[in-house]
């Protein structure tokens, strides 16, 4: 019976040797997610009586677009402010618009996919002279 115990001892040694290999744990890498950074474009210009002014911008990813009319001349008048897509027959084909005066909070907040958009400021009949303005567009 010594043959069985020799075989058993060899078997135990083989198992022990197999267990003594490289014990490094497998490393898995989780995919990293990147949060897009918001970009703010500032549009400083003037709007003529019965006129309009438009600016295009490009969003690189889906997200929220915030449009703020920060200043408008002396600040006592209102104008039309809209957002849409560039058009061939007009500077901007508006999808959403408001009549507003200047302020520190966004007057338009909307969702947009990646793409090219435009913002337009237009006289609603209340301007009496060419009027300077500052407009900011925050997008991703």
In this structure, is residue 11 part of a structural domain? Answer: no
* Tally of structural domains, the chain: 1
In this structure, is residue 10 part of a structural domain? Answer: no
List Cβ neighbours of 69 (8 Å cut-off, separation of 6 or more).
Answer: 79, 81, 100, 101, 102, 103, 107, 121, 133, 134, 135
In this structure, is residue 106 part of a structural domain? Answer: yes
Region 6-29: what's the mean pLDDT? 51
CATH number (domain holding residue 60) = 2.60.120
Statement: residue 1 has pLDDT above 50? no
Q: Domain range spanning residue 94? A: 48-139
Residue ranges in the chain assigned as alpha helix (H): 2-19
Closest listed residue to residue 82, CA positions, set 67, 103, 64: 67
Average per-residue pLDDT in the chain? 85
In this structure, is residue 60 part of a structural domain? Answer: yes
Share of the chain above pLDDT 90, in %: 69
Helix, strand or coil for residue 84?
strand
In this structure, is residue 131 part of a structural domain? Answer: yes
pLDDT of 47 reads 97
In this structure, is residue 5 part of a structural domain? Answer: no
pTM of the predicted structure, to 2 decimals: 0.75
Q: With the CA atoms of 44, 46, 52 and 54 taken in that order, what torsion angle do they form, in degrees rounded to the nearest 10? A: -20
Helix, strand or coil for residue 13?
helix
Helix, strand or coil for residue 7?
helix
Read off the tokens for 125. 């009949």
Split at pLDDT 50, 70, 90, the class of 36 is: confident
In this structure, is residue 107 part of a structural domain? Answer: yes
């Amino acid at each position: 019976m010594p043959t069985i115990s020799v075989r058993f001892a060899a078997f135990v040694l083989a198992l022990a040797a197999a267990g003594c290999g490289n014990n490094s744990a497998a490393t898995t890498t989780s995919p990293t997610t990147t949060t897009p950074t918001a970009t703010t474009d500032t549009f400083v210009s003037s709007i003529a009586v019965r006129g309009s002014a438009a600016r295009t911008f490009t969003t690189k990813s889906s997200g929220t677009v915030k449009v703020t009319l920060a200043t408008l001349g002396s600040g006592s008048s209102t104008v039309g402010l809209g957002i849409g897509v560039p058009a061939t027959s007009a500077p901007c084909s508006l999808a959403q618009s408001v009549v507003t005066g200047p302020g520190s909070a966004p007057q338009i907040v909307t969702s947009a996919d990646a793409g090219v958009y435009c913002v337009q400021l237009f006289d609603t009949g209340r301007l009496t002279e060419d009027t300077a303005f500052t407009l900011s567009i925050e997008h991703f």
